[in-house]
Structure 1
């Protein structure tokens, strides 16, 4: 049974996923703006 946090079945994994989601999105955005990551349709 999952907890809806999107990270896993235990609370620690779910909390860790929520904590890391925003910084990882920000890092991806910076890499995209620098041209390191290319988005292909």
Structure 2
């Protein structure tokens, strides 16, 4: 949650999105879901 604050990411929005994407996301691309790299769907 601290990383979300440092990157101006809403923790609730991030966590909800990541938990929804996780089952279909490739393991070698998990770094894309970190708050520092995360982009909501459509951006």
Q: TM-score range by the shorter chain?
A: 0.3 to 0.5
Higher RCO (C-alpha 8 Å, min separation 6):
2
Structure possessing the higher radius of gyration over alpha carbons? 1
TM-score of the two chains, using structure 2 as the length reference: 0.35
